Amino acid sequence: MSPVILNLGCGSKTAAGCVNIDWSLYAVLQRRPALRKAIEPFIGHQRRARLDGMAGDVMAHNLRRGIPFADNSVDAVFHSHMIEHIDREFVEPFFREVARVLRPGGVHRFATPDFGQLGHLYVSSLDALAQRPEASDAELIAHEARIAEMIEQSVRRDAGSAAGQGRARRTIERILVGDARRRGETHQWAWDEFNSRLALRRSGFVGIEKKSMDRSDIPGWAAFGLERDEAGGEYKPGSLYMECRKP
């Protein structure tokens, strides 16, 4: 029997051979071709391309209601760029829910923006500028971008998909599905190796390790392609990859 591997909060980044789960528009449209056809003219080129690129099926499910699998029934659980969207106090309960469905020895792996790396980049930029009181505007703008990388996703109002859209479409989408916060796009907390270790340890996991892209104890992990883009590069550069096991 092939292993059961969950890809939680998959968005449009899905893999055949995984159970992909999400509550987004992609999950709904991917399962309902008639509905997709009806609203296709309104969803924009980018979203159409993402839908076309989705491999495997997606289960439409709200993970706030738990993971729809029995205790000890799953071999591995992966989630990418999801925990930073969860309120901090709900992350450990979410990890415990992951532990519930994993079989003993099962692997829990996740990717999230690496706040440690962003912090290092910011401090390096700060140190470099301290030596250059005559820094140009371009250099100061580049420095400002380091700050944006750390906090922009927590404070922004406009949804990411609004960029490049006309004003009328932006307004309609905002009325129908809300701003970035209502759509769940904003970051609620930031994670580095060490607060991740603490949250995983408190949730009962063992063998906690920082990993790199594609390197995993999940057999055949790299072949799923969930950490690569279409060109074969890193799907989300700047990611922290953590992995651990249920005892």
Q: What residues make contact with ligand SAM under the rule CB under 6 A? A: 9-11, 13, 22-24, 62-64, 80-82, 85, 184
Q: Report how far residue 193's alpha carbon sits from residue 37's, in angstroms, rounded to the nearest whole number.
A: 43
Q: Do the beta carbons of residue 115 and residue 154 sit within 8 Å?
A: no
208: its two tokens: 């906690």
Tell me the closest approach of the beta carbon of residue 93 to ligand SAM, in angstroms. Answer: 12
Tell me the closest approach of the beta carbon of residue 96 to ligand SAM, in angstroms. Answer: 16
Closest to ligand SAM by CB, 13 vs 108, is 13
Tell me the closest approach of the beta carbon of residue 29 to ligand SAM, in angstroms. Answer: 13
Closest to ligand SAM by CB, 66 vs 219, is 66
144: its two tokens: 């400002």
Tell me the closest approach of the beta carbon of residue 54 to ligand SAM, in angstroms. Answer: 11
Per-residue CA distances from 109 to 17, 32, 74 (Å): 16, 30, 13
Q: What are phi and psi of 229, to 5 degrees?
A: -90, 180
Strands (E), the chain: 5-8, 19-22, 58-60, 74-80, 102-113, 206-211, 239-245
Tell me the closest approach of the beta carbon of residue 85 to ligand SAM, in angstroms. Answer: 5
Closest to ligand SAM by CB, 97 vs 192, is 97
Which residues 6+ apart lie within 8 Å of 97 measured at CB? 66, 67
Closest to ligand SAM by CB, 63 vs 142, is 63
Closest to ligand SAM by CB, 122 vs 235, is 235
